[in-house]
Structure 1
Amino acid sequence: MDGEELTPPGSGSDPAVGLRAVGALHRLAEKVEATNVALAREQGWSWEQIGDALGVSKQSVHAKHGK
């Protein structure tokens, strides 16, 4: 996969368009993660199970989502 396959349609060579898309994807990913971590906790998942599913340590997921 080369960089052109990752460039949004119509963006040409303007990195501002691509960077805005990356920012939007990051924000979406954060919302999806938070929603699913909350759902997992409601269903009784441990921080270790959630961390394993996300590929991070239980400490890091707890620090980020354990309010």
Structure 2
Amino acid sequence: MQEAPIRIPDPTDPAATLATVVSLRRLADRLELAGAQAAIDQGWSWTDVAEALGVSRQAAHKKLARRITQ
């Protein structure tokens, strides 16, 4: 599914700016999950995934493990 391109809002319009932040967070979450799923599928450890994300192994596992299919 192709998403519409993200338009940079006028920074003086708080509603548009904050709506864009929400959209970016949702996109980042989807990308993070897809990347973690691919990494686990390719045999990466949770330590490897966490290192790539710049977080602890525990943080990565807690956030993503229940959403990863193995």
| TM-score bucket of the superposed structures, by smaller chain | 0.7 to 0.9
The aligned amino acid for 2:29 is E
TM-score using structure 2 length: 0.78
1:10-49 → structure 2 map (5 Å cutoff): 11=10, 13-49=12-48
Greater percentage in helix:
1
Q: Flag structure 1 segments of 5+ consecutive residues without an equivalent.
A: 1-7
Q: Flag structure 2 segments of 5+ consecutive residues without an equivalent.
A: 1-7
Structure with max Cα Rg: 1
Superposed CA RMSD in Å reads: 1.2
Flag the 1:12–1:33 CA change in 2: closer, same or farther, 3 A.
closer
Residue 12 (structure 1) shift: 5.8
Structure with the larger RCO, 1 or 2 (CA within 8 Å, 6+ apart): 2
TM-score using structure 1 length: 0.82
| Paired positions, count | 59
Runs of 4+ in 1 over 2 A off after TM superposition: none
